[in-house]
Amino acid sequence: MPAVAYLNKHGVPLAQPSPMFSSRFPVLCLHRDHLQRALYGACLDPASGPPVEFLPGVSVERYEADPNKGVRVYLSNNTCLESDVLVAADGIHSTIRRQFVEHVTSKHCGYVYFRATLNVEEHSVGLAPFSSAFESWGDGQRFGYVPLQAPDVFWFASIPAAEQTGPDGMATSIIDEATKQHLLRLFEGWSGQAQDGAQIVNLQRLILSSPASSILRTPIRKVPDVEKFPWQGNRGRVILLGDSAHAVAPNLAQGAGLAIEDALVLATNLSRVVRGEASLEAAARYYELARKPRAKTVQSMADLVATVGHIRGPLALARNYFMLASHKLAPTVQSLIFERAVSMSLGGDSNNLYWSPPVPKGTVDAEALTRALERSCLLGRVLGATFSELPSHVRKFRAASEGEGVGIVSVE
């Protein structure tokens, strides 16, 4: 992702990170369809491990768990599966969550997203696909633009609105021509800007170029207070993962990322059970403890972005004035605060800029990896054992098997 910026509706930056943002935060934006195909392909690949069985068109109706024996999962095709553990990744309206924490339900956040992907080579919108990533704030509305794999880009518009289901009763619906005209009116005169400030894009053209049949409308919901209810029950036999545990508003584009992180942390803990190093109950509890603060941080920050971005009237003017002034008067301080916030939202801490997966014991020997890295690059050969003390983003960049990048490393 190119350096992301917050702009006013005329394309003027209100907050911006340093030009080094992309190299410091190597965020990959990809279309959901590409991700799902990659995951599906890996599940079918015999080299990935034991085969995964898919049951299309079948849903889980309920479960029975015995802490000492295992779980029985009852399916809509009148069959029952028996297992040691049930990992429920069944989304924001999770059937399994409702069975063991009945009182937890999702809540409408008070706004609606309209979104589409667009091939910007076919539809000239005046912006090279990879030249920019931004979110623009107006008087109550937000508009976002993110490049995917070129030439596709993703845009969204977030508008305060009551919840409303589509004609088929589904939460997400395809919009009609009248709604598209309404969007065009709302964003009349809005502009975005390329990272170097050179190209200006008329945001209306993005909407105009997207057929109504490609624009989705989704009322935004979340699972509130994600840290306040159990994510696992029956002594670790039933475990929630992804949106079923912690659906967050999409304002930081992190929901699916959180689900993937959950899976890595859970897998690492379950492998400890398999090796006899931990009980199932302890592993599930550890997973829950490790993941709750991370999900809570993303939820709070995502809610904050929506609150500030949806401000209307004189307060919106005051917000823009304050942000613009800090951008002009103290750009370095502002970009430091900006990057600190991004780092927090990506799971960074005092040692790391962003979240990194746990290294499963037995699969990767971290010391051997560091030793190999020491030998594989100039910095490693010069620094020897102290190579491991470099910031993790520098080490990771060296670890990439291919690719290129530009950056500055000061080694004292």
Ligand X SMILES: Cc1cc2nc3c(=O)[nH]c(=O)nc-3n(C[C@H](O)[C@H](O)[C@H](O)COP(=O)(O)OP(=O)(O)OC[C@H]3O[C@@H](n4cnc5c(N)ncnc54)[C@H](O)[C@@H]3O)c2cc1C
Query: Rounded to the nearest whole angstrom, what is the least distance from the CB of residue 292 to ligand X in the complex?
Result: 15
Q: Which of 218, 356, 388, 392 binds ligand X (CB under 6 A)?
A: 218
Q: Cβ neighbours of residue 134 under 8 Å, at least 6 residues apart?
A: 4, 5, 6, 7, 144, 145, 192, 193
Using the rule CB under 6 A, give the single segment among 84-92, 193-201, 226-234, 354-362 that binds ligand X: 84-92
Choice between 100 and 397, CB closer to ligand X: 100
Euclidean distance between CA atoms 86 and 63, whole angstroms: 9
> Which 105-124 residues touch ligand X, going by CB under 6 A?
113, 115
Q: Which of 26, 67, 91, 140 binds ligand X (CB under 6 A)?
A: 91
Euclidean distance between CA atoms 277 and 270, whole angstroms: 10
Q: Is 152 in the site for ligand X (CB under 6 A)?
A: no
Size of the site for ligand X (CB under 6 A): 18
Q: Which of 73, 90, 175, 397 binds ligand X (CB under 6 A)?
A: 90
Euclidean distance between CA atoms 250 and 272, whole angstroms: 33
Query: Tokens representing 360?
Result: 């499963």
Query: Rounded to the nearest whole angstrom, what is the least distance from the CB of residue 367 to ligand X in the complex?
Result: 33
Euclidean distance between CA atoms 151 and 128, whole angstroms: 8
- The amino acid that residue 363 corresponds to is T
Choice between 227 and 281, CB closer to ligand X: 227
> Which 2-61 residues touch ligand X, going by CB under 6 A?
59-60
Euclidean distance between CA atoms 410 and 390, whole angstroms: 10
End-to-end CA distance of the chain: 30
Euclidean distance between CA atoms 181 and 177, whole angstroms: 6
Other beta carbons within 10 angstroms of residue 93's beta carbon come to 15
Instruction: Return left, alpha or beta for 57; rule: phi > 0 is left, psi -120 to 50 is alpha, else beta.
Output: left
Q: Is 255 in the site for ligand X (CB under 6 A)?
A: yes
CA distances (Å), origin 340, targets 320, 327, 356: 20, 16, 17
Query: Rounded to the nearest whole angstrom, what is the least distance from the CB of residue 133 to ligand X in the complex?
Result: 12
Choice between 92 and 125, CB closer to ligand X: 92
Using the rule CB under 6 A, give the single segment among 90-98, 121-129, 134-142, 300-308 that binds ligand X: 90-98
Q: Is 147 in the site for ligand X (CB under 6 A)?
A: no
| 152, containing H or E segment | strand 152-160
Choice between 52 and 359, CB closer to ligand X: 52
Query: Tokens representing 395?
Result: 């080490």
Q: Which of 18, 27, 67, 95 binds ligand X (CB under 6 A)?
A: 95
Q: Which of 147, 192, 236, 242 binds ligand X (CB under 6 A)?
A: 242
Q: Is 257 in the site for ligand X (CB under 6 A)?
A: yes
Query: Tokens representing 190?
Result: 């809005």
Choice between 115 and 285, CB closer to ligand X: 115
Q: Which of 89, 308, 344, 394 binds ligand X (CB under 6 A)?
A: 89
Residue with tokens 């976002």: 144
Query: Rounded to the nearest whole angstrom, what is the least distance from the CB of residue 304 to ligand X in the complex?
Result: 17
Query: Rounded to the nearest whole angstrom, what is the least distance from the CB of residue 169 to ligand X in the complex?
Result: 15
The contact set with ligand X (CB under 6 A) reads: 59-60, 89-91, 95, 113, 115, 218, 242-243, 250, 253-257, 259
